[in-house]
Amino acid sequence: AKAGVMDPGSDIIEYERPGVVRVYKSGRVERFDGTDTNTVPPCPSGDPAYGVASKDVVLDASANISARLYIPAAEPGKKLPVVVYFHGGGFLVQTPASPFYHAYTASLAAAAPAVVVSVNYRLAPEDRLPAAYDDAFAALKAVVASCRPDGVEPWLAAHGDASRVVLAGDSAGGNIAHNTAIRLRKERIEGYGDGVSGVALLHSYFWGTEQVGGEPTDAAYRGEFERLWDVACGSQFGPDHPYINPATSPGEWSQLGCGRVLVTTAELCWFVDRARAYAEGIKACGWDGEVEFHETKGEEHVYFLFKSGCDNAVKELAVVADFVGRC
């Protein structure tokens, strides 16, 4: 195309989720949800609304890994469990600074109490999977290194207990937490080992071509979730790849790198049948840890982010906080 003349093919929409994201064939991406303009700042000196302090940090400059850290009021020298949290958003939108993610992770830090590290991983389609998985693993390595007395991040060095690390996330972030624990068992972290204390999977985005439980069989409905996956990974991994459908690789699944798993879901969540199947299937595949399962009646996918003050959300946060406290 000549200078100043738009290529007629560049504005063809390749993928759209109305009100969330629009991806053009040219590679241009428009985000309408979870954008950099709709964010909240951290509160390094302490936020009375949540009873925690928060700050944005670079965990690993060489890998360009940043995160928002949350720390509750802690006694000097007291060690706390560390939650490495991955936000949802279909791998395409949101950041740790999105208002409802900031509110949720701050609330979790206070409720557990724990140091929460909310990871700012790369988003698709500019950075297709496995970019987010690579960032998640690099973040975990940086976090456990920082929990040492000479760690580069002072909050983690002073209060992070590397022997009590929980990987957690909601929706796509739950998928990332699961895959990070799988990779940890395969690769190990030098000086740390091949397992964290726990993994908390909140309304996780898993899928597959075969219907599970009471999932709709409608091709258009199922196609939506497959198409999202396709965009996120650039068609590199099929809809039954273990990244998105752990049940297709039970041998790998049985090597999940943690001692206990919490699975939460909601009755009206798109992925409720997958969550039930995960909780049942991980035992059947030969994994030898403890599984906890929590399902909320009458609620939809990640309702606890948008209705954080409702009784069910308060109860679900308490379940997650209790799990972290016991890890």
Q: Could you give the CA distance from residue 191 to residue 324 in angstroms, rounded to a whole number?
A: 23
Q: Could you give the CA distance from residue 267 to residue 297 in angstroms, rounded to a whole number?
A: 5
The residue written with tokens 């929409």 in the block is 13
Question: Residue 104: exposed, middle, or buried by beta-carbon count in 10 A (0-12, 13-18, 19+)?
Answer: buried
CB 91 within 8 A of CB 124: yes
With H, G, I as helix, E, B as strand and everything else as coil, classify residue 268.
Answer: coil
CB 193 within 8 A of CB 316: no
DSSP string of 227-244, one letter each residue: HHHHHHHTTSS-TTSTTT
Name, in order, each residue with C-beta under 8 angstroms of 204's C-beta and a sequence gap of 6 or more. 169, 170, 171, 174, 175, 177, 178, 263, 271, 274, 275, 278
Question: Residue 3: exposed, middle, or buried by beta-carbon count in 10 A (0-12, 13-18, 19+)?
Answer: exposed
With H, G, I as helix, E, B as strand and everything else as coil, classify residue 320.
Answer: helix
Catalytic positions are 171
User: What is the C-alpha radius of gyration for the chain, rounded to an integer number of angstroms?
Assistant: 19
